[in-house]
Structure 1
């Protein structure tokens, strides 16, 4: 078994108002993690409320379908390498561990950004477990108050060079009694590579049990103002969820004939 090396750095600083902890998690092997006690206690509780990080780490493959009027979208991901394959009626997008590729199946051109999208919905869907990835910095966040309910928060940022958008920031808000994830606030920096101040919001309060793990049944996008959610702005419905402890065949993620490698 490969040894995993962990550097755990806790930096505490005291201001005139409060004290906050910042925890940095590093790993020598991508996307594999150490025991749960490497993480802040509140995040450990969130993992446990969703079935446990140890259980998640036994999985090798995830597939989910997003139900859409224009045609369903199927995402398949190797949970170890994060190789991915997204299939829609008109296009396929993939990542083979090295290159992002795009296949147009017909005359309808893809108008999005494949390098931005190839792992976007996987990352949203695999919350909160993707927050156990390497190079993440945790600290407490101010609670979110929405419609009279108060949700404690965990702020997430990334060390330099981690991922395609290391300037991204997230805040996970959880139920103070059950520790189930309730909200995700996040910035979008892919297009600018600069720190963003504007928070976007998605709500997670509809979960389904998949092999003992709680994964989203729906995620609701919200409009926002002054870095707070306001009203619903569309719902994504997930179906046909598959988890497997078997390693997926790499052929699934290979660049198909006729596909374009995205530079």
Structure 2
């Protein structure tokens, strides 16, 4: 009888020991799955948790050269297929995939599509890295001599979005894989060569956690070069009042008198 008890006790110790190792096993599996540069960022920014919410809302104020160029409230589905932008002065933009609809004051504004997509894209950037048409060079390196970040380059297949010739060079923190800054070109209204002669970068700082998901509350816009990285600061963005919202799709209705752009 005693031998049976001892045998059971030993068996229990073995089972308990195996159970204690299981979190390590799970962690190892998770790290193995996150093989790509994009996947590591998505895990660091809690993409799985983010996508469990229907929509995200925030206020964004963007200025360049001391001039305010954007001041609005943005509500966008976490899948980014629909969005509503309400400017401080009451003007509105509705986005439904590639279609943009605007209130009367914006019908002749040449920058409407740029503003409709750009600021929400920068906000959602960590969750857009695996979109259809994305092409990655995980081995890309800049020519900076003092770069302390991991880097990779993102380009796009032809006919993806309004500006398929745009590219992005991502910098992530080595320990956390969190996004630090992103160099980019904007080809809207320019040739690719013209855009590449004047690349910029956005730097994400002051992360705040909302329902388990980190969001940068401050953006810095900089001039950037392949050899020196960030140089002169040229603009900034302030993101406030970030919150997840429900029933956005139920209430999303484009007014009949809005203009398609």
TM-score, with structure 1 as normaliser:
0.72
Matches within 5 A, 1:1-263: 40-51=35-46, 53-67=47-61, 72-80=71-79, 82-90=81-89, 91-97=91-97, 99-104=99-104, 111-140=109-138, 141-143=140-142, 145=144, 148-192=146-190, 194=192, 196-198=195-197, 199-225=199-225, 228-244=229-245, 246-249=246-249, 251-257=251-257, 259-262=258-261
- Aligned to 1:249, the other structure's residue is in SS state helix
1:73 & 1:36 partners in 2: Cα distance? 39
- Aligned to 1:241, the other structure's residue is in SS state strand
Map Cα deviations across residues 84-123 of structure 1 (whole Å, 9 max, x no partner): 2111133212213453122145xx9874421222111011
2:73 & 2:159 partners in 1: Cα distance? 29
- Aligned to 2:148, the other structure's residue is in SS state strand
Map Cα deviations across residues 196-253 of structure 1 (whole Å, 9 max, x no partner): 4242111113211011111111110113356632122222111111224x45235435
Deviation at 1:73, TM superposition (A): 0.8
2:60 & 2:192 partners in 1: Cα distance? 30
Q: When you count strand as a share of all residues, which structure comes out higher?
A: 1
Deviation at 1:44, TM superposition (A): 2.2
Contact 1:201–1:224 (8 Å) recurs in 2? yes
TM-score, with structure 2 as normaliser:
0.73
- Aligned to 1:115, the other structure's residue is in SS state helix
Deviation at 1:36, TM superposition (A): 9.8
2:114 & 2:33 partners in 1: Cα distance? 30
Contact 2:171–2:182 (8 Å) recurs in 1? yes
Contact 1:171–1:186 (8 Å) recurs in 2? yes
Partner of 2:65: none
Contact 2:169–2:183 (8 Å) recurs in 1? yes
Unaligned stretches of 5+ in structure 2?
Answer: 1-29, 63-67
Deviation at 1:37, TM superposition (A): 7.5
Deviation at 1:130, TM superposition (A): 1.2
1:37 & 1:197 partners in 2: Cα distance? 36
Which has the higher mean CA deviation after the structures are superposed, 208-217 or 86-95? Answer: 86-95
Deviation at 1:74, TM superposition (A): 0.4
Which has the higher mean CA deviation after the structures are superposed, 131-140 or 61-70? Answer: 61-70
Contact 1:206–1:216 (8 Å) recurs in 2? yes
Q: Residues 70 and 137 (structure 1 numbering): CA distance in 2 closer, same or farther, change over 3 Å?
A: closer
Q: Residues 207 and 190 (structure 1 numbering): CA distance in 2 closer, same or farther, change over 3 Å?
A: same
Deviation at 1:149, TM superposition (A): 4.6
Which has the greater radius of gyration? 2
Q: Residues 247 and 149 (structure 1 numbering): CA distance in 2 closer, same or farther, change over 3 Å?
A: same
